[in-house]
Amino acid sequence: MAAPVAVAAARAVSRVARVAAAGPLLLGPARLLESCAPRAVPLPARCSGSSSALGSILGIPAEKPAGALGQHPPPVATSKEEQDRLLCDQPDQPQNPKVLRIAIIGAPNAGKSTLSNQLLGRKVFPVSKKVHTTRCKAQGVVTYEDTQLIILDTPGLTSPFKAKRHKLDEAMLTDPWDSMKRADLVLVLVDVSDHWTRNCLSEEVLKCLSQFPQIPSVLVLNKVDLVKKKFILLELVTELTEGIVNGKKLEVKSAFKHNSSSSAKSLQIIQASPPERRAPESHCLQETAQAPEGSRLDNSSDTRASESSLVTEAAQGPKHYGPGDLKNMKGWPYFQEIFMLAALHGEEVDTLKRYLLMQAKPGPWEFHSGVLTSQSPQEICDNIIREKILEYLPLEVPYGVIQVTEMWEEGPSGELLIVQNLLVPRKSHMMMLIGRGGNVISRIAQEAGQDLMNAFLCEVRLKLKVEMKS
Ligand SMILES: Nc1nc2c(ncn2[C@@H]2O[C@H](COP(=O)(O)OP(=O)(O)OP(=O)(O)O)[C@@H](O)[C@H]2O)c(=O)[nH]1
């Protein structure tokens, strides 16, 4: 028996006005799409990723103020037919198109989807505190002037053992690898707030990097907002890069430095050239920080010789690593840049985006500029509702919920009407999902409805029903 038990609906109109700044309200999605021209603001001058990102995190003013990247991402099409048509459309190639395919890899929960959404300027990938929110690879598209960034959001890298334990699909193991095969550049995301995992790259990440040594890689330290003592970030950089970035040795120094106002220690990161061709203008950033005594991370004379050979090796590009070598490695000495950011708050995301735009190479666009994601509207909707279920239900409960869309149609005023059934295997799960007086399911419907409006840029009426699986 599958009797409807609870129904929650969300209908929110007022906030659409704030979201849909690029066009009049309640136009058909096609009209809205026209009014959101994706190419508008000129690209600012090149800036170095590591210097500007690091400088800002450390409170050092950038040499040149970084111009904001005007964002007018197109909305997602509200029907599968429209989305399919957009995906099949010939890309509207500019005169000199450039393209960059970016794989974002990292441990589950590192913030890959959060970062992808921020780069896209619109939320189309689900995000939650629970691991394995992203279940399969999906593409996001940023079109900016003559450049297209194709972002390959992937499930968190996991081992076959963990996949079996969490009953994950085979795709969760293979998708990150598939994305790597297509990528021109890989972003390795590390959650610096996770004390257990932040000091070294996981074996899966190292395996991925070493299998594709020809793909340039960039280290991205995420969630820096959660790290109070910023000097830790510099130590992490040293560990995660084995002290080498872009073929150059990093020196991180911490020493007492007396100034008139405080006796704070000085922390220094120096990116120096390999010894044999040391550049006179080595890149140097300084910060006064409360560093622990004796956390001096620059070279001692004993290790200098072996490090210099490591630097020379790194400058020559990745060598072939066997599984035994990877077990002994903590970091990757072939990153070409480092970024530190807080994806959740959009902090320093523009700096990374500018850098990615600069990395794009001449080549035809893959998508029409009206495309924001390769996912179908229904997939986005399912994922967003699932994200809320993951957020509000404890432990394994969300993983047993089956979502069945009963209705998806355009209402008389152009609004999107969606009815979805949530089928649960147990009565106890049903009670949890409904919540006292229906408060849980109402909240899920309300929040998911709001996210969908932000994605589709039109009014959405979402109704959720909870039923027992028959
Ligand atoms: N404080 C803070 N939280 C963040 C930041 N970036 C992401 N998060 C949070 O981290 C959690 C995981 O983010 P996701 O984007 O879902 O992570 P993911 O790597 O895609 O996760 P999987 O799909 O499990 O692989 C969410 O609760 C985010 O809100 C950040 O910069 N700062």
Mutate which of 115, 344, 399, 447 for ligand 1 pocket (most atoms within 8 A of beta carbon): 344
- % pLDDT > 90, the chain: 44
pTM for this model (two decimals): 0.76
Residues 6+ away with beta carbon under 8 Å from 49: 218, 337, 338, 339, 351, 352, 355
The residues lining ligand 1, judged by C-beta closer than 6 Å to any ligand atom, are: 106, 108-114, 127-129, 131-134, 155-156, 222-223, 225-226, 342-344
Extract the tokens encoding 119: 């780069």
Question: Residue 28 is which amino acid?
Answer: G
User: How many Å lie between the centroid of ligand 1 and the Cα of residue 134?
Assistant: 11
* pLDDT tens by residue, 201-213: 988 899 889 988 8
Compute the C-alpha angle 434/435/438, nearest 5°: 65
Residue 127 Cα to ligand 1 midpoint, Å, equals 6
Percent of the chain topping pLDDT 70: 64
Please give the average per-residue pLDDT across 274-290, as a whole number. Answer: 35
More confident residue, 59 or 187: 187
Q: What pLDDT does residue 311 have?
A: 59
pLDDT for residue 20 is more than 80: no
Rounded to the nearest angstrom, the distance between the alpha carbon of 109 and the centre of ligand 1 is: 5
Q: Look at residue 230 in the predicted model and tell me its pLDDT.
A: 87
* 345 φψ region: left (φ > 0), alpha (ψ -120 to 50), beta (else): alpha
| Separation CA 341–CA 115 (nearest Å) | 9
Task: From the CA of 387, give the closest atom in ligand 1.
Answer: 16
- Which pLDDT score, from 0 to 100, does residue 308 have? 55
Burial class (CB in 10 A: 0-12, 13-18, 19+), 60: middle
**What pLDDT score does 189 carry?**
95
Q: Is the ipTM of this complex over 0.95?
A: yes
pLDDT bracket for residue 176 (50, 70, 90): low
**What is the tens place of the pLDDT at every residue in 364-373?**
999 999 999 9
Residues in the chain: 470
* Separation of CA 2 and ligand 1 centre (Å): 35
Q: Are 119 and 96 in contact (CB under 8 A)?
A: no
When comparing pLDDT for 230 and 268, which is higher? Answer: 230
HSE, CB side, 13 Å, CA atoms: give it for residue 396: 7
List, for residues 123-135, the tens digit of each pLDDT value.
999 888 876 555 5
